[in-house]
Structure 1
Amino acid sequence: MAKVRTKDIMDKFHLELVGGEEGLHRPITMSDISRPGLEIAGYFDYYPAERIQLLGKTEITFLDLLDDAERKRRLESLCTDITPGIIISRELEVPPDLIDAANRYDVPVMRSPMKTTRFSSHLTNYLESKLAPTTAIHGVLVDIYGVGVLITGKSGVGKSETALELVKRGHRLVADDCVEIRQEDMDTLIGNSPDLIEHLLEIRGLGIINVMTLFGAGAVRSHKRITLCINLELWDKAKQYDRLGLDEEKMKIIDTEITKLTVPVRPGRNLAVIIEVAAMNFRLKRMGVNAAEQFTNRLSDVIEDGDHDDMD
């Protein structure tokens, strides 16, 4: 099923439909936009027909220099079976030959009042967001002091209960149970909640609660960039857990790696406070303050001083 169709961008940017109405449900498969200047000049060898075609003042005024037969031929060549649409910027007058070709081949022709470069930027951003690679992960996403923290772990380990405590402490819930994630750019993961369960938390023994209704609009947000993953697991006596924080584990989601911390769960541990501090410590590390490294360096200095004293 196509993520974006031509009608979606027409509605999103309030475009005026000029011709080719039958093709409004054509799928858009890529975020790249083409400005077919070379094609209008007659060079169609590498015409990217599967892209949205954007005509500005340069292309439209050049068409006026062509004779009628040549202009008609080149505009017909722009309209193919896979072209999702042609957009004219600046509310420029649409050539009648283009409208005829669009109606003949069912290629939507639309018009925008925006300047060409500005519209191209807005449309590219919209398409990149909609066409970004996506996945879904079982977990909870919370915004803690501006850090998007993805809390994962086996069912029943206490993810939702921890999220509830974090919300009570003033942080914001993004998604519970299922986190939809899309990769924007090469290293940016944006998480959000499926529409069906947005703002909802499931607490065993209590049922489903609406966080926004209970705690207000400031307790939720619709999406958040994910930069840290905290995996909750039941305490295993046989396992060695990192006690200094020098070893940084990574987790790969789609093509992006993020920092992953494993927090053991046992009675008496306040997970919400631990995760809150983990988020603050993560922010400090990004600002260049690493407590574990500072401790290790101090320890090394003490050992070296002790060695010097022994030698004396």
Structure 2
Amino acid sequence: MSSAITLREITKVYGTFTAVDRFSLEVERGTVFGLLGPNGAGKTTLIKILTTLMRPTSGDAVVEGHSILTAAKKVREVIGVVPQENNLDRYLTARENLVLHGKLHGMSAARYNPRIDELLEMTGLTSRQHDFPDTFSGGMQRRLVVARSLVHNPLVLFLDEPTTGLDPQSRRALWDYIRQLRHSMTVFLTTHYMDEADTLCDRIVIMDNGVSLADGSAAALKEALSHAHVYEVELCGDGAAYQKILEEQPFITSIERSENCLRLTLNGEKSLKPLMDVIAGADLKRISLKEPSLEDVFIALTGKKVRNA
């Protein structure tokens, strides 16, 4: 399968700070690609470079055969962008926002009107098409932004944290729209939500400090961490007291506590017996091996909890 996006040694430097450091990547056409990382990792900088809003300090990227350096106008013609903010024109109705986008891309009314009808139906906004965005909920505004990005039938869709701040129902609705786009175009997604990436993405790259730390499917990334031997221990006794004891044990690499439940990462299977020796049998209520989640992979690689701000 040919590549829709190719990054070649992309670097972006601000003074003495390197936001993106010789970042190379290929994204296959017709896939949903997820870029994950904590705030400050370089995700938004990459999005701005790929959407021609920012020039890299060095390196180049090609989007559907067009260089961001020498053919930026062509790149803008083949991409759709859903930014982090709902940057709708508040003085235009929902339909007028979509019409304006079609006209900006040189579409005739005969082309954009049927397309707009289709998108309004897909996003459930047909009955509100003549209302102003300020009267919409946050989820409805987000759906309109997605619809706007699709008016000109882009080959590549960039979604920069598209569901941040939405309620669970609105997030699920947007997931459904993204699923409908699968295979008809290439989707480049950044998100803070691990369940979102796990559900939607064919391939995931986790980055931090401007470089790639891991690359693969969600299943492959979780499988790579499965050797970490993470256990959940529920105690009848004082969890805080046992936490202090266990923190001194050399066979435990990390420990987290929630009241009387402890989450432990052991050096290996051989560490299970000494763990049981430390915990008095009468105080042990439950112990179970925990399958690693995508968030576990994220934290193991970046050392940082997933956060929205």
Which structure would you say has the larger Rg?
A: 1
Q: TM-score, normalised by structure 2?
A: 0.24
Q: TM-score, normalised by structure 1?
A: 0.24
Higher relative contact order (CA 8 A, sep 6+): 2
